């Protein structure tokens, strides 16, 4: 597995999810399986089937998180010195050249991306177009609606 870049906050969220799955969700599902098993005939027991399916999901997610955590590389945006260029972890303020709308995004790892919170995945088209750009540069992004142009207004490492 390749190295997975994450911010400090993203790493903490992954670790919290893993802890919750191990200490809360796993014991709860084990209890639910035991209760469903106590109901008798397992061949027609929908509660048992649902609990086993949920257990499979939880165990798969635990394995996935353990693998990601073992290869993640944590970046602290506040310690970056990229000379004003857009890099992983940077917060970028940009203006849509066509509409004049101003948007701010932080470039983060795939697992912590949340467009509603202003966090875009480093592998997204917009982040790939922004990487390496500085204030005053124009980034062109191929969006579903066609080519969009954005002027980088400010790059911060916070």
Ordered domains of the chain (ranges, CATH): 4-75 (1.10.287.180), 77-156 (3.10.50.30)
Mark the ranges of the chain whose per-residue pLDDT is less than 70. Answer: 1
SS3 call for 81: coil
**Whole-angstrom Cα distance, residue 149 to residue 44?**
58
Written as six digits, the tokens of 12 are 């903490």
Q: Which pLDDT score, from 0 to 100, does residue 41 have?
A: 72
Provide the 3-class DSSP secondary structure of residue 125: helix
For 146-158, how does the pLDDT look when each residue is reduced to its tens digit (9 = 90+)?
999 999 999 999 8
């Amino acid at each position: 597995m390749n190295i997975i870049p994450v911010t400090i906050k993203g790493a903490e969220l992954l670790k919290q999810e893993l802890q919750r799955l191990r200490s809360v969700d796993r014991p709860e599902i084990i209890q639910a399986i035991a209760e469903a098993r106590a109901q008798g005939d397992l061949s027609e027991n929908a509660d048992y089937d649902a609990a086993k399916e949920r257990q499979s999901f939880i165990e798969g997610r635990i394995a996935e998180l353990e693998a990601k955590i073992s290869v993640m590389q944590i970046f602290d945006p506040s310690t970056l010195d990229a000379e004003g260029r857009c890099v992983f972890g940077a917060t970028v303020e940009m203006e849509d050249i066509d509409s004049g709308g101003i948007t701010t995004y932080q470039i983060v790892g795939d697992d912590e991306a949340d467009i509603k919170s202003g966090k875009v995945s480093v592998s997204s088209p917009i982040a790939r177009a922004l990487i390496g750009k500085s204030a005053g540069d124009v980034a062109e992004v191929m969006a579903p609606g066609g080519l969009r142009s954005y002027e980088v207004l400010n790059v911060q490492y916070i």
